[in-house]
Amino acid sequence: MLDKAAQLLAAVDAAPTERSIGGGVAYAPVRLWHWVNAAAIVILSLTGYLIGTGTPEMSGEASGNFLFGYLRFAHFSAGYVLSVGFLLRIYWALMGNAHAMQIFCVPLWRRCFWREVYREIRWYAFITVEPERRVGHNRLAQLAMFFMFTQTITFMVATGFALYGQGAGTDSWQYKLFGWVFSIWPNSQDVHTWHHLGLWMIVIFALVHVYAVIREYIMSGRSISSIMSGERGFRD
């Protein structure tokens, strides 16, 4: 196990420097997870926003409407899908190829990493003319994925199950595993607030992510078909 961990850390350092030459591609087997995860996030975002801000006024007796109940059911179901998918993604990071680990382990301790981040910032700021043609995530994307996605999803899963466990009861497995969240924020409304703020972090990340994909397709020639086929490459 220690040998495997050492190999993965070495791969994390090496993978981003592997460049695609011409039409070279690298198969990405996490594409199914990507789209299931995206669908779960869309459902969670929409239902979470309505749960946090209130639903439209419904006519008739309250007993004749179950809109809020449907929203909660959709939110909880999507939350389970997101959580299971995230666990499977962690498993693939440990068992998959070098690129699979990039969003979970960022070599912040390496000086060359920050040089490459600086270069990518210059590229996105339209200062650098030529992009780095890499098969995996570039260093700036890797940094953004780690802090804005991986860490945020972990936070949302922990706070979400903590709030769910509060309703399910202190003897539920959700509360037993995630009840420690209330030792940090004893007031559950604070947990609700932070959980709601996490929603906006994910929304901001999604917007930046979509922009970056379209921009790379136009500016650097990276094939946008990778979002469907799982194969990363360049048009030229």
pLDDT in tens, 3-13: 554 555 454 44
Reported as a single tens digit per residue, the pLDDT across 105-125 is 888 898 888 888 898 888 888
Contact 153, 82 (CB under 8 A): yes
For the chain, what's the residue count? 236
Output the pLDDT for position 179.
Answer: 94
- The pTM of this model reads 0.80
**Chain-wide mean pLDDT for the chain?**
81
Reported as a single tens digit per residue, the pLDDT across 187-228 is 999 999 999 999 999 999 999 988 888 887 787 766 565 565
Residues 74 and 68: their CA atoms lie apart, in Å, by: 10
Output the pLDDT for position 226.
Answer: 58
Give, as one character, the DSSP assignment of residue 66: -
Name the one residue in this structure whose structure tokens are 């439209």: 56
Helices 67-95 and 2-14, interaxial angle, to 10°? 100
Output the pLDDT for position 2.
Answer: 46
pLDDT band, residue 17 (cuts 50/70/90): very low
Residues 147 and 83: their CA atoms lie apart, in Å, by: 18
Reported as a single tens digit per residue, the pLDDT across 122-144 is 888 888 777 776 666 778 888 89
Helix (H, G, I), strand (E, B) or coil at 209: helix
Residues 195 and 90: their CA atoms lie apart, in Å, by: 22
The set of residues, in sequence order, having a beta carbon less than 8 Å from that of 31 and lying 6+ positions away, is: 227, 228, 229, 230
Contact 152, 198 (CB under 8 A): yes
Residues 41 and 197: their CA atoms lie apart, in Å, by: 14
Using the predicted structure, report yes or no on whether residue 85 has a pLDDT greater than 90: yes
Smallest Cα–Cα separation from 4: which of 82, 108, 91?
A: 91
Residues 25 and 22: their CA atoms lie apart, in Å, by: 9
The one-letter amino acid at 195: H
Smallest Cα–Cα separation from 112: which of 13, 11, 186, 227?
A: 13
What phi, psi does 97 have (nearest 5°)? Answer: -80, -175
Cα 77 → chain centroid: 18
Of all residues in the chain, the percent with pLDDT exceeding 90 is 38
What phi, psi does 27 have (nearest 5°)? Answer: -70, 130
Residues 143 and 106: their CA atoms lie apart, in Å, by: 7
